[in-house]
Structure 1
Amino acid sequence: MASPLTYTSLDDIQDAVSYLRVNFDTGKTRPLAFRKFQIQQLYDLVKNNEERLYEALAKDMNKPRSEALSGDIAPVLEECLYFLENLDGLAKEEKTSPRLGMHAMDTVKVRRDPLGVVLIIGCWNYPVQLSLVPLVGAIAAGNTVLLKLSEVSAHTAALLTELIPRYLNSDAYRVINGAVEETTYLLEQKFDHIFYTGSPMVGKIVMKAASKHLTGVTLELGGKSPAVITPEADMQTVANRIAFGKFYNCGQICIAVDYVLCPADRLDAFVSAFTKTVKEWFGEDPKTSKDYARLVSVRHVDRIAGLIQNRKSGGIQFGGQVDRDERYIAPTLITDVKFDDDVLMGDEIFGPVLPVITYNSLDEAITMIKKNPPPLVLYVFSKKQKLIEQVLQNTQSGGVCVNDTLMHQAEYSLPFGGIGNSGVGNYHGHRSFRAFTHERGILQKKQQLEFVNKVRYPPYNSTRDAILRNFMVTHPLVVYLKQKRGSIKAALILIVLFLVYLKKRA
C-alpha cells in the first residue's frame, strides 16, 4: 500500500530552517498576544478535527478510540488550556533579592527569553501527543519551530501536515516529513534546541549531531521499566494495573511495563490473576477484540515475533500467536525468564510481551534492577511504605508510579523525563516552558555613586580588600548566629518566660 505521506526535499528542509531563523530574528514570535493566539489555534486544530485524528490513528495502529482520546487528544487540549491560562505568569520577569550587599540598591531580575529556532522530532507511537505537546511549550516560550513528524505513523503525519499550515502561522511554524536521509540532513542544520522523543540508540545520534553546533537537547527516551511486586500486594489489583500498563496501545509506549519482578511464592497467584484480567478485557481471542490495538508496521511484528521465538528462557503461559498480515501479536505472558536472557532482557520490548522474573528477597530484585541502566519509570506495587521506600532509596529512574502504571505521565504537574540512558531533561506544564526558554539573568545599576565602586578598581590595597570582603563574604559571626539560630531562639524564649515569671513573683 502506498504511503499517504510525501517526504520533504532536502532543499525545502534547508529553506525552512533559514526562513524560520529570519522570522525569529524579526521578533515576530515574542509578543504574548501572538503566542496565545497560536496556542488557541492549535487547540482548535485538535478540537475541530478530533474525528479525523481518531480515524488516522486507527489506520496507523488500530488504536481504540478510548486510548486515542486519553493518550493523544486529551493531553494536547489540556496543555493548550494550561498555557492560555498561565502564560502571562510564566513569561513575567522575576525580580530576585540580591545576595551581595553591594547590589542592595540595584535591580536584579531574570528574563524568560525564547531559545530561537527549535527542532521537535516527534514519535510514531503517540504521534499527536508526542509532536504537539512539546510544540505547545515551544510556542508558549516564543520560539519558531520546525516540526519533524514520524513517517512510521504515516496517516497521522499526513493529516497533521495538512492541518498545521491551516491553523498555525507558517512564518513561525513549519512541518517537514521524511525518513533516515531527510532526518540525517535535518540534523546537519543549526538549531538553538532539539527536542527528540524515541529510542536511546537514535537519541545518541541526535545528541552527537547537536554537539557539533553546541545545541542544547531534550531527549525523551525509554528503557526497560520494571514492575516490582512485593509479597503482601493485592494480586488481582496488581494484575489489572500491570495489564493496563503493558497492553495499552499494544505495548507500544515508552513507559510500558517491560518486565515484572514477582516473589517466587506468589508467581502462581500472579499468573492466575493476570490471565483472568486479559480474558475479561479481550475475550478468548484478543484478535477479535475492538479494544486491542495493532503494531504499527510489519517490521515491528517481525521484531517482536523474533523475541518470542528466539528467547533463551521462559515458558509461554498464554499468547504468542502472530498474524503478520494483520500486524497482530497476541497479549503474551512468559514466566520463568532468566534475568541474563539477552533476547527478552536485552533491549526494551516495546510490544505486547511480558516477561516475569521471580525473586526470593526484595534486595535480590533491587540488585537486578540496578544491573540495567536507569529506566524511564519504575513501578512498585506494595501495601507497605517501608518496602516502597526500600526500593526508591536503592534505585534510580526517570519517574516512579506506585501501585499503578502509566498514570504518572498523565499528571502534568509532575516533571516527565528520564535520567542517563532513559533521557535528558524533562517537560510537561511549566517545565515545558522552561525547557524551551533561556533564563537571562540581568543586573541593572544606576550611573550614580561611582565613588562607591572605587573599592573594586585598581590600584588594589589591603584597605580596599577589607572593605570588599565585608561586601562579598558573610562575616563569621553572622554565619555562627545563623547556624545557632534555633538554639538562640529557644534561649531567648526561656529568658522571656523567666522574666515573666519574675514579674509575677514581684
Structure 2
Amino acid sequence: MAVVAELGETVSKLRQAYESSRTRSLAWRQAQLRGLLRLLKEQQETAFEALHEDLGKHRAEAYRDEVGLLMKSANEALRQLGKWMTPEKVWVPLVAFPATGQIVPEPLGVILIFACWNVPLGLSLEPLIGAIAAGNAVALKPSELSPCTAKFLAENVGKYMDAAAVKVVQGGPEVGEQLMEHRWDKVLFTGSPRVGRAVMAAASKHLTPVALELGGKCPCIFDMMSSARELQIAVNRIVGAKWSCCAGQACLAIDYLLVEERYLPVLLKVLKSTMKRFFSDADAMARIVSARHFERLRNLLKDREVAPSILHGGSMDAENLYIEPTILLNPPLDSAIMTEEIFGPLLPIITLKKIEDSIAFVRAMPKPLALYAFTGDAKLRRRIVEETSSGSVTFNDAVVQYAIDALPFGGVGQSGSGQYHGKYSFEMFSHKKAVMKRGYLIELTLRYPPWNERKIALMRHLYRFDYFGFVLCFLGLRR
C-alpha cells in the first residue's frame, strides 16, 4: 500500500507542476534540455559503466547508440525549439473574410514513458527530449531488466532537471500496473506486443492515447552487389546491424535475410570472414540481458527441426550469458525462430529462386518496424516501397535511419503506432490546436434559415470556387 500511495503522490505532484503552467514557457523547456545535456556530459563515464553492467556494452557502442545520439538529439531540439513552438498560419477561404487561422501546438499535459531494457538510456531519454520540448510534465519508468541504468537515471535526472516536473519511477511490472491505474494525457510504451496489449487495455479505462513501439521481425533483402568492394561494404553493414547492436537485442536489428540461391556461397564466405574480423575480441559484442532471455534463445536453437539448419556458430556460455553469432540456413518457416521476433544474435538466411520473390515473402509476414534491402536495382527498390508496408525502409544500409532526426521513427500495424525523433517527438507529445478569428465586417445571411433555392445555388458556387462563390454571396447579402 505504501508503494501505491507513493505513486499516487508522484502523479499528483506532476499534475500540479503542469497545472502551474511553468512547463509551457520556452525558457523552462530550454533549461531542461540544457540540463539533460549537462547530465550526459558530466555523468558520461557513469552512464557507460551502467550500460556495461546491465548489458556488457562496450563504451564505443554505448556512445554510438545511446549517449552520442542523445546529445545530438537534445542539441537539435534546442536549436529548433523556437521554430517548433511558433504557431503555423493557415489559409482561410475568402468567404470567411475578414478572418485568420493558425495551428497552435500546445502540450498534452502529464506524460508516462515506459522504456525498454535493450537501449535503456536511449529509449528513456530520446522520448523525454520530445516530451519536455513540447512543454509536458513527465514520469519515466525505466525497465527493471536494466537496473543499473534505471538507478543511474533515478539518481541523476532530478539533479539536472526540474525534479517536480520530471520524475523517474523505478520498479517491476507491478509498479507499471499501478502507474496505469492513474490518468495520463499520453503514454508511450516500448516493449513486447504482449505487454503493449496490457498497456492499451489499462489506458482504455481513462481513454488515454497510447503510442506503441513494438519491434517485429525486420527483414533484409540481399541482392548481389556489382563489385567485391560493394559486397564487402554491404556485409559490413549487415553484420553491424545484426550483431553489434546489443547482440541483436534491438527492435531495428535485422531479424532474417533473404537471398537468391545462386548468391548464397559468396555471401556466406564474406559473412563468416567479416564476423571473425569484427568479433575476435570478447568484449566486442554485448551479452544477453538475462538468464530467462538466454534460455529463450537457446530453446530456439534446440528445436529439433531447427538445429540441423545451424550453419555457423551456435556455441553458448550460460554463465556469462553469451551466445556466439550464429547463422542458420532455411529453418522451417513455421518454427518459432521464423514466427517470433528473435531479439538475439541468431540470423536465419532464407534462399529464394529469384530476389523478386522476397516481396511476396515479406508481404506474407506481419508488418515490420523496418525493412532493409541491399540492391542496385531501381525497379526492385520502387516495388519494395510501393508493394510492402513497414515502419521504415532503408536501402543499402541498416539501423542508421534511427540516427536521422529528420526521419520519423515508429512502426505500423503489429510493429507499433506513433512516430517520434526530432520534430516528430515534439509533435507526438503536442496537440495541434486549431485557432480561428473572424471580424464583423461581413455577414453572409445564406448560412441561416429560411432556406430557398437561391441560397442553395449560391452555396454550390461557394464550395466549388471560393472566390466566385464569395462574390456571388456578397451580392446576395441582403437576400
2:421 to 425, 428, 432: 428
In 2, Cα distance between equivalents of 1:210 and 1:320: 41
In 1, Cα distance between equivalents of 2:388 and 2:163: 45
Change (3 A) 1:103 1:222: same
Can you list the C-alpha shifts for 1:65-106, whole angstroms capped at 9, x where unaligned? 1110011101211111111111111001111111x3322311
Correspondence 1:327-366 to 2 at 5 A: 327-340=321-334, 342-366=335-359
Can you list the C-alpha shifts for 1:179-237, whole angstroms capped at 9, x where unaligned? 11111111121111111111222222222222222221221111111111124455433
Letter aligned with residue 182 of structure 1: V
Number of residues paired by the alignment? 464
The secondary structure found in structure 2 opposite 1:164 is helix
Change (3 A) 1:475 1:57: closer
In 2, Cα distance between equivalents of 1:72 and 1:353: 23
Partner of 2:477: none
Query: Does 1:391 find its partner at 2:380?
Result: no
Partner of 1:461: 452
Correspondence 1:246-265 to 2 at 5 A: 246-248=242-244, 249-265=246-262
Native 8 Å contact 1:8 1:178 kept in 2: no
The secondary structure found in structure 2 opposite 1:356 is strand
Instruction: Tell me how far 1:311 sits from its aligned partner.
Output: 5.4
- Deviating above 4 A after TM superposition, structure 1's stretches of 4 or more consecutive aligned residues are 475-478
In 2, Cα distance between equivalents of 1:309 and 1:179: 30
Query: Does 1:59 find its partner at 2:72?
Result: no
In 1, Cα distance between equivalents of 2:114 and 2:466: 52
Query: Does 1:409 find its partner at 2:409?
Result: no
Instruction: Tell me how far 1:240 sits from its aligned partner.
Output: 1.7
Native 8 Å contact 1:339 1:368 kept in 2: no
Change (3 A) 1:385 1:354: same
Partner of 1:504: none
In 2, Cα distance between equivalents of 1:467 and 1:277: 72
In 2, Cα distance between equivalents of 1:311 and 1:184: 38
1:226 to 216, 219, 236: 219
Change (3 A) 1:195 1:462: same
Partner of 1:150: 143
Query: Does 1:69 find its partner at 2:66?
Result: no
2:16 to 13, 16, 22: 22
In 2, Cα distance between equivalents of 1:330 and 1:386: 37
Partner of 1:317: 311
Query: Any stretches of 5+ residues in structure 1 without a counterpart?
Result: 1-6, 479-506
Change (3 A) 1:8 1:357: farther
| TM norm structure 2 | 0.93
Native 8 Å contact 1:197 1:220 kept in 2: yes
Can you list the C-alpha shifts for 1:457-499, whole angstroms capped at 9, x where unaligned? 2333334444444434427999xxxxxxxxxxxxxxxxxxxxx
Correspondence 1:208-219 to 2 at 5 A: 208-219=201-212
Native 8 Å contact 2:259 2:355 kept in 1: no
Correspondence 1:171-190 to 2 at 5 A: 171-190=164-183
Correspondence 1:63-142 to 2 at 5 A: 63-98=57-92, 100-142=93-135
The secondary structure found in structure 2 opposite 1:188 is coil
1:419 to 412, 421, 425: 412
CA RMSD, 1 decimal: 1.9
Partner of 1:193: 186
In 2, Cα distance between equivalents of 1:347 and 1:104: 58
Identity %: 38
In 2, Cα distance between equivalents of 1:363 and 1:204: 35
The secondary structure found in structure 2 opposite 1:426 is coil
Native 8 Å contact 1:151 1:157 kept in 2: yes
Query: Does 1:281 find its partner at 2:278?
Result: yes
1:449 to 424, 432, 441: 441
In 2, Cα distance between equivalents of 1:112 and 1:237: 43
Native 8 Å contact 1:8 1:182 kept in 2: no
Query: Does 1:241 find its partner at 2:237?
Result: yes
Partner of 2:472: none
Native 8 Å contact 2:327 2:346 kept in 1: yes
In 2, Cα distance between equivalents of 1:82 and 1:241: 26
Native 8 Å contact 1:151 1:179 kept in 2: yes
In 2, Cα distance between equivalents of 1:10 and 1:75: 35
Native 8 Å contact 1:30 1:142 kept in 2: yes
The secondary structure found in structure 1 opposite 2:338 is coil
Native 8 Å contact 1:338 1:357 kept in 2: no
Native 8 Å contact 2:187 2:211 kept in 1: yes
Change (3 A) 1:441 1:476: closer
The secondary structure found in structure 2 opposite 1:418 is coil
In 2, Cα distance between equivalents of 1:471 and 1:343: 60
More displaced 10-residue stretch of structure 1: 387-396 or 27-36: 387-396
Native 8 Å contact 2:115 2:140 kept in 1: yes
In 2, Cα distance between equivalents of 1:72 and 1:140: 19
